[in-house]
Amino acid sequence: MRIAKLVFTFLILCASCNPEHKDLSLTNFLINTESFPIDKNVSPSTFRMQYYEGSLFWWNRDRSSITEIELTNKVSKPFLKYQFEGPNGIGNPSGFYILSRDSILFPSKLSKIFLVNNKSEVLNSFDYLALGDHKYSASSFSRFTRPFHYYKNQLFFEVGPQLVPTEFISEDFLESYSPFVALDLKEKKFEEMPIRFTSTAHFKFGPNTLNMVFDAWEDNYFIIGTRTDMLYHYVISTQQTKEVRLESHLLNRFSNDYFESERMGNTIEENVRLLYKDSQNIGLLVDQYRKTLYRIGFPGEEVAADSNAMKYSEYLPTFTISIYDIENNFTLLAEYSLPKNTYLAHHYFVDEKGLNLFPMHPENPNFNEDEMVIHTFDFGSLKN
């Protein structure tokens, strides 16, 4: 049965490769398939996962818990169950970030970041409510890759609004606005990061949204708006920002139609169809081991009127992966469209072996809710 699954996967991946790279089929980079049982305490999809010390930590939001999945031993076990109320209550968290196995950070809708040990005891809290105007709830999600970043005793995170009225977004506003904040955990001091954006670069089709996806690696921050080709590379130590336009043959349907449309009279489904008509950047991952950057996107498509458009908000049918060489000015190495209804969009992580994807889409004929399946791809040879 498992061999049959692998053969099926190879066939659909062969059909999905980008025509620009016919000699580089995605199957050439699939180096490993792992599958192991999971119990009912593990959610089939998540808004936050984190790879740490050989294990994958998986957030079960509906169960108020985090599960540790030991990837080598293929064993899943309870790691932490947090509390909403009481002396160790953290309210309703928006993800988590593991500093160590006994130090876990939870951004909360209470406008605080809680430091919790592995017994769910609150060790400390950091209040970011007084940061000033245009500062909103912090989050640490792997969905739409918006994670906390810890480097040299400082925690870096975003507290910016996702949507801002068009009339607010001007050159003057952008020159004074930064959604990123640094927190000295020892001194409990916040400092706004001097990352700035330009309307010509960040908003390809005119001002519409400040929504962005980002990832970081040591001294480097990589940020891209959801509807643009312009990448911001920010270096923490020098406080310098470089703008780089990322090439793509697959993400070519960016527009401002959704924001300029008269949406008030539409049904929710009509607005969802309009939203997913255009291309979007939905993720950004750094591969520190291969010095590559993975840009995860949705190419945009006409959502049929007789289909359930609401499914798109939870389970996109497909997505794209564009691979860039960080050491060579973000040159496009290859890009691929993933087969429809096969992999979970928004679910991916990088480890020493490569980029890991989950062929666990609910409409995948091989999907089994009692089993976790991980496909590992090593794109390191693209740089040779």
CB 128 within 8 A of CB 135: yes
Say how far residue 60 (Cα) sits from the centre of its chain: 17
DSSP string, 65-105: EEEEEETTTTEEEEEEE-BSSSTTB--SB-B-EEEETTEEE
Q: Compute the C-alpha angle 44/34/46, nearest 5°.
A: 20
* Residues 151, 318: Cα–Cα separation, whole Å: 34
Among residues 78, 113, 42, 142, the alpha carbon closest in space to that of 348 is found at 142
Please report the pLDDT score of residue 275 as a whole number.
Answer: 87
CB 230 within 8 A of CB 214: no
Please report the pLDDT score of residue 7 as a whole number.
Answer: 40
Which of these ranges, 22-31, 58-67, 109-118, 223-232, has the smallest mean pLDDT?
22-31
Please report the pLDDT score of residue 132 as a whole number.
Answer: 62
Which of these ranges, 107-116, 238-247, 285-294, 355-364, has the smallest mean pLDDT?
107-116
Say how far residue 108 (Cα) sits from the centre of its chain: 19
pLDDT tens digits for range 39-48: 999 998 999 9
pLDDT tens digits for range 346-380: 999 999 999 999 999 999 999 999 999 999 999 99
With a CB cutoff of 8 Å and minimum separation 6, the contacts of 113 are 105, 106, 107, 125, 126, 128, 138, 155, 157, 183
Residue 149, helix vs strand vs coil: strand
Residue bearing tokens 């053969």: 7
* Residues 67, 50: Cα–Cα separation, whole Å: 11
pLDDT tens digits for range 11-32: 444 444 444 444 568 889 999 9
CA-CA-CA-CA dihedral for 182, 184, 190, 194, to nearest 10:
-30
Q: How sure is the predictor about 3, in pLDDT bands with cuts at 50, 70 and 90?
A: very low
Please report the pLDDT score of residue 273 as a whole number.
Answer: 86
pLDDT tens digits for range 91-130: 999 999 999 999 999 999 778 999 999 999 999 999 887 6
* Residues 26, 371: Cα–Cα separation, whole Å: 24
For residue 361, CA distances in Å to 3, 207, 220, 316 come to: 19, 34, 32, 9
Among residues 372, 376, 368, 375, the alpha carbon closest in space to that of 46 is found at 372
* pTM for the whole structure: 0.91
